């Protein structure tokens, strides 16, 4: 089946309804065969008390885009994804605007996916560097 970027972006945004991704206004904006990109606004709703982007919001963006990216590689009827580990290094502060999370595959095994997620600002400055490990689990038959 041919890669359909528009279909993937539409699906990712659709399954974000009524979730943390919708609450944080995360929007999927680009996709490729080995990457997925989402953006998130930086405003007072996701600031920490010092008026800067909360590190937890950055991690939520990273896990959201990395987990959605893993879903691109599985058969949804047979398997599902679970994040099992995430780490983040916050390198620069952001007060406003947007941050962009780009997940790129490092390892795509049958049971483990490892992603690098770079979070940048609108000027492409690196804000956070994250690593996410997802487990591919068999879907339980009901």
Residues 65, 100 contacting (CB under 8 angstroms) = no
Catalytic (active-site) positions: 63
- Measured torsion, CA atoms of residues 4, 66, 122, 125, in degrees rounded to the nearest 10: -130
């Amino acid at each position: 089946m041919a890669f359909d970027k528009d279909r993937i972006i539409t699906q990712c945004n659709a399954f974000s309804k009524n979730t943390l991704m919708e609450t944080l206004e995360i929007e999927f904006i680009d996709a490729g065969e080995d990457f997925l990109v989402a953006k998130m606004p930086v405003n007072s709703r996701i600031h920490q008390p010092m008026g800067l982007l909360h590190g937890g919001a950055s991690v939520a963006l990273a896990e959201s885009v990395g987990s959605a990216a893993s879903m691109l590689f599985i058969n949804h009827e047979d398997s599902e994804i679970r994040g099992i580990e995430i780490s983040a290094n916050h390198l620069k502060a952001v007060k406003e605007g947007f941050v962009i999370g780009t997940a790129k595959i490092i390892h795509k095994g049958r049971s483990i996916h490892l992603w690098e997620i770079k979070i940048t600002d609108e000027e492409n400055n690196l804000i956070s560097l994250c690593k996410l490990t997802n487990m591919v689990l068999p879907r339980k038959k009901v």
